[in-house]
Amino acid sequence: MFKTLLIKEWKEKALVAVFGLGLMGIFLAAFLIIGDDQDLRELLPAAFLIIFFPFIGVMLGAGAFESEFRNGSWAYLLSRPVRKETIWLAKLTALLSIMAGFWLVFIGLMAVVPGLGEVVRGFRWFEVLDSGLELFLLVLLSSVFYFSVAFSLSILSERQLNLVFGSFFIGFAVQALLSYFAFLADGRDLLSNVGRFLWLDAYNLALVLSSLAFLGASLITFRKADFSQPKKKNLSLSKYSILFLVLAWILAVAWPVFRPGPGEKLSSQVEVAGSEAFFSTTRGLYRYDLVRDDLKKVAKWRSQFSFGGSFRIAGGQVLYGASGWNLQFNPELHIMNTDGSGKRLLVGGGPDGFPLWPGYSHFLLSPDGKMAVYLTDQNETVPGSKPDKRMVSIRTDGTGLKKLPPLDPALAGTDGYTWIRAWFEPSNSLLLMVRSQGSPWSLLTYNLTTGAQARLFETPRAGELNISPGGDKVLIVHQPDGGGSTDVTLLDIASAENALVMKIDDPGEHSWDSVKRSVWNRKGDKVAFLVRQNGGVFSPAVYLLKERRVVMLNNVRVGEDGDYRTTLGWTSGDTKLVLGVPQERSLKILDLSLAVERAIPVPPSIGEYFEVCSTDDTVLIRETQGEAHRGSIWRLDLKTEKWKKIW
Amino acid sequence: MLIKVDTKGFVPLYEQVKAEIRRMAAVGAVKPQDPLPSIRELAAEILVNPNTVARAYRELEQEGLINTQKGRGSFLSARRVQDMNRDLEAHLNRKMDEAVREIRKFGLSPAEVRKLFADSLRRFEENGRRGGGDE
Amino acid sequence: MSELLKVEKLSKGFGGRAVLREIGFSVDPGKVYGLLGRNGEGKTTLIRTIMGVIPRDAGVMTFKGRALTFGDADYKKEIGYIPEDAFFYGGMSVGGLLEFNGRFFPKWDARKAAEDLKRSALDPAAKVRTLSRGQQLKLAFVAALAARPELLLLDDPTSGLDVPTRRDFLRDVIRELAAGGTAVLFATHLVHELERIVDHLFILQGGRIVLDETYEKVKSLTRRAVLGFDTEPPESPALDGVLSQRRMGKDLELIIYPWNEAVEGTLRALNAARLEIEPLSLEDIFTSFVQET
């Protein structure tokens, strides 16, 4: 019976199908004739898409019940032994299939007609759309939407012209409303997301749900309809369509708000403090006790981003950034004890002084854990407030919020970036790295007590900056000539004196990457790093501060040229180095003369990229395969050479 | 089969059908062993409910005037001439009664009624045509 | 014998105006029912409601023992419906329409449809909209009957057609009746032809069934009594069942249902100069029932 009705509907709409195909043919001819006029080549398909598909959607929808009205065959159809739902569904299916046919023909044309596909894919209309295909999708959904409006209205009357006008009117009104909401949402940053305009997804979702709303209202009205009483039909349709429409919009708004965030993913920060390791994911902060082999989630958050929150540990406290629950991106700084107790909100939730971005270098704890310093408004505007590049300090008990005096423009330049790198306890100073356009990189001290600022070091091009565990020295990898050779310099913070540790002349493509992965030992009297030698081979090196010399084995190859995955760390009471060599899938243990003692293979389930994070007899490595990958943390017991996955 | 039924009168349709069949048997329009039209044919012809015809046939069969054989239809059964004459007489008497009743409505006296009949009879003889009601 | 169709307390109104008020009746298999009513009294509304074309406001409809809801479609397989006006898809061909129609009915007899079509001399290739009203009626009949329904619902299908066409239609109906036990509910205001085939009568007036009786009984129990008086006729005599009365000069005409001996006695006791008692045609009976007094 359904099939019979379906065929009948198709037969009745054959003319419309032919008409539509004819229009497409005209478009095709016009497109081919236009030839090389670039503007027209883009304009014509865009105009065709935007005009034809909604129009044909309305025409098909408006004609849904036209045959019954015109023939007076209502009573005939309704007195057949067939359910009204079947009748309704057959009409819907037939008409939608014709519309789908038009879409398929157009897609076919895109594939076959030279140039058409590229033009459509390359649409750059409206800044908000990433690609032409998004316009295509939007038009497709619009056409379905207009069809639904017309289809639902077609129950009410046989006057095609009235139906067409009415459908367009209502369709425009709804789309205008939705666009207004989307505009509001976008303007308030309500629904935007990194790299993707979420409001567009919500808009498309709203269109789809609105279409369903109209169709649902149409089905209910049709089922209940008394065709001898048109007013009742009008009432019923209006009632249900408004009801469902409101429902649809609530759902469409709820989805971006409540949709689950990215799955739990490991972020790149792993910190070890004593026998505890801390790492963060997109869902929270974890503490792992290396001695007791005990993992605990100490803080929960939901990150809107694909990376987790940053944190700093000092003086038994953990300071971490998280985002608030409400729609606006609202970063907050929280603080808690390292065992997870005493969680409290330190700063956030207001225009006054909350951090713009709780990134790793934007906040810091004092070594005793009693003070925190953070950056706010770094060259970007928080909605509602004036741009104000400031550092703010606050006691970790929540009191004493103080906006610190701004950086001296002579030292920091204007319009630059600031990173808070360390807290130098002896003078209660912050160690800041600043850089502005066209200026060299500068390392500044900022005295929190006196407000005095001084430049410690300056270099045209900085690579790594690694502060010793004691906070008194800084290992700086930089290129003093702006290119060409690479210097490794040791800077003493207190005296501001610096000494050259090593110079690498490696004029190659990657000269700025000649020294990397520096790691201090716990005492702060040795620092190990990787050096790329001639030929692109990476070798480990150790600088012994007391002896002021570098231990390095020449020509010991630990990595392929251009392979940057090797990492290192100290272990066994700082008497040995462990090298993570992903390309050989092993961990290599080296003694202080840099001879390889042993190589421990890495379990097969560990992927192609891992980093050495922690040292001592237990080595922690962090594994990741990229943004989509969950990541994992493993521990290796050096004595037993046993691996265990922790997270 | 030319049967007319009249919905105006008191007489139920099935009775009228029966009477008509009896009349036709009496005047020899249908002879013994002649087949009668099927219920369907007769009903369609005279435009009555087939049940009406069915009932008429059923009752005539009970009265013995017709025989119905499955698959072959209904037939007028063989009757003695006497019976047929008796039927005819009954039929004629009925006809007379109807005529008289009709005329009496106008309040004529019996003498006037008799005069009417005599005139009608004369007309019949004179013109060689049927008088009274149309057949 | 169980009822084929039963209707109880069926009510339907339009925009506040009640058209059917708590209608109740039943239809037995194989019988012919006449639904009489003046134009606009609600016959069409009643039949449309039974067919589920429009929803009822209240009441219960039962078909072969199963109660019906507005959305039910299965029971319609057993009903052949012919409404007053043509209601087919005009663009379909005669043959195409029959084929289309046949798909809905599991008991569709295509051979019968073909035979009936031939007998009705309709051209299968002709478009439905080119058929005359009489031809459309024939087509509707073929379509309805080929489905072998148990109930035929006829909503005044012959009104507006000439007498020969109506006679033809009646003949077709009778042929079908003779063929098998189809029940018929025949709504009409053209009473004359109905009279010949009807078993049972319903009269619909003022939104209610004011008469629900076998045809035989109605016929035998309705009388016209004409009393002629020498002087002025008396005012309405105290009598039950007077459907209508008329004064013509010195005569008083009464139409009475139901007739019984008591009524006759009362009338005779009026001592009229002239008393005539006659049966009535169904047309006259109907008129008397539905006339405004």
The DSSP annotation for A147-184 comes to: HHHHHHHTTT-S-HHHHHHHHHHHHHHHHHHHHHHHHH
- Helix/strand/coil for B36: strand
Sign for the pseudo-dihedral over CA of C136, C142, C148, C153 = positive
State whether the Cα torsion A338-A344-A347-A349 is positive or negative.
positive
Using the structure block, give the residue that is written with the tokens 């031809």: C135
Shared domain check, B32 and B71: yes
pLDDT tens digit sequence for A408-461 = 777 776 666 778 888 887 778 888 888 777 778 888 888 888 888 888 888 888
pLDDT tens column, C196-225: 889 999 999 889 998 999 998 888 888 888
User: Which chains would you list as touching C if contact means 3+ CB atom pairs under 8 Å?
Assistant: A, B
Give CA torsion, residues B74, B79, B85, B89, to 10 deg.
-50
Lowest mean pLDDT among A276-280, A435-439, B10-14: A435-439
More confident residue, C142 or A614: C142
B116: in domain: yes
Looking at residue A302, its pLDDT comes to: 58
Q: Kindly state whether C90 is in contact with chain A, defined as any CB-CB distance less than 8 angstroms.
A: yes
Q: What digits encode the pLDDT tens for the residues A330-385?
A: 667 788 888 778 888 787 755 555 665 666 677 888 888 888 888 876 444 455 54
| Residue C281 CB neighbours (<10 A) | 17
Closest residue in chain C to residue B41, using alpha carbons only = C175
Strand partners, A192: A197
Q: Are residues B69 and B94 in the same domain?
A: no
Are C and B neighbours with ≥3 CB pairs closer than 8 A?
yes
Number of folded domains that form chain B: 2
pLDDT bucket at C143, cuts 50 / 70 / 90: very high
Q: Is there a domain that residue B4 lies in?
A: no
**Cα–Cα distance measured from residue C247 to residue C235, given in angstroms and rounded to the nearest whole number:** 10
Establish if B6 belongs to a structural domain. no
Classify domain C5-214 at the CATH superfamily level: P-loop containing nucleotide triphosphate hydrolases (3.40.50.300)
Residues C235-245: tens digit of each pLDDT? 777 777 888 88
Identify whether B108 is part of a domain. yes
Q: What is the CATH number of the domain that holds B59?
A: 1.10.10.10
The answer to whether residue B3 is domain-embedded is: no
Here the tokens at position A387 are 């741009």
Q: How sure is the predictor about A328, in pLDDT bands with cuts at 50, 70 and 90?
A: very low
| Same domain (yes/no): B85, B99 | yes
The mean pLDDT of chain A is 79
| pLDDT averaged over every residue in chain B | 78
List the domain range (segments joined by +) for residue B112. 81-127
Domain boundary pick from B76, B102, B118: B76
In this structure, is residue B122 part of a structural domain?
yes
Which chain B residues touch C194 with a CB distance below 8 Å? none
Residues B71 and B94 in one domain: no
Q: What is the mean pLDDT of residues A527-544?
A: 76
ipTM for the complex shown: 0.90
Q: How far is the alpha carbon of B101 from chain C, nearest alpha carbon, in Å?
A: 11
Chain B residues within 8 A of C282 when measuring between CB atoms: 7
Task: Using alpha carbons only, give the angle C253, C257, C258 rounded to the nearest 5 degrees.
Answer: 135
Q: Which residue has the higher pLDDT, A385 or B1?
A: B1
Q: What average pLDDT score do residues C164-179 get?
A: 87
| Bridge partners, residue A515, by sequence | A531
Could you give the CA distance from residue A237 to residue A220 in angstroms, rounded to a whole number? 8
Q: Are residues B34 and B50 in the same domain?
A: yes
A605 reaches C (C-beta below 8 A): no
Residue spans of the domains in chain C: they are 5-214, 222-290
Q: How far is CA C108 from CA A607, C92, C101, C142, in A?
A: 69, 19, 9, 11
Any idea which of A177-186, A393-402, C122-131 has the lowest mean pLDDT?
A: A177-186
Q: Which fold has domain C222-290?
A: Alpha-Beta Plaits (3.30.70)
pLDDT in tens, A107-124: 888 888 877 877 777 666
Residues 6+ apart with CB under 8 A from C75: A81, C63, C64, C66, C68
Domain shared by B39 and B61, yes or no: yes
Q: Do the domain assignments include residue B41?
A: yes
Where a domain ends, among B36, B51, B76? B76
Please indicate whether, in this complex, the C-beta atoms of A76 and C88 are within 8 angstroms of each other: yes
Q: Mutating which of B5, B47, B104, B106 best tests the C interface, going by the most C Cβ atoms within 10 A?
A: B47
- Residue B134 in domain: no
Lowest model confidence (mean pLDDT) among A33-42, A337-346, A417-426, B107-116: A33-42
| Interchain CB contact of C15 with A (< 8 Å) | yes
36-55 of B, contacting C, C-beta below 8 A? 39-40, 43-44, 47-52
In a shared domain, residues B17 and B71: yes
Confidence label for A388 from pLDDT (cuts 50, 70 and 90): low
Which carries the bigger pLDDT value, residue A208 or residue A588? Answer: A208
Residues B20 and B45 in one domain: yes
Angle between helices C163-179 and C133-146 (to 10 degrees): 10
| C-alpha to C-alpha distance for A268 and A633, rounded to whole angstroms | 11
Check whether residue B121 and residue B106 sit in a common domain. Answer: yes
Tell whether the model's pLDDT for residue C90 goes beyond 50.
yes
β pairing state of A417-424 and A429-435: antiparallel
Cis peptide before B50, with omega less than 30 degrees from 0? no
Cβ atoms of A638 and A595 within 8 Å: the answer is: no
Q: Rounded to 5 degrees, what angle do the CA atoms C133, C139, C141 make?
A: 105
pLDDT band for C101, please (50, 70, 90 cuts): very high
Give the angle C127-C131-C135 at the CA atoms, nearest 5°: 125
Across chain C, the runs of DSSP E, i.e. the strands, are 5-14, 17-27, 32-36, 58-63, 66-67, 79-82, 151-155, 183-188, 200-205, 208-214, 223-228, 242-248, 251-256, 274-278
Stronger pLDDT, A116 or C153, i.e. the higher one: C153
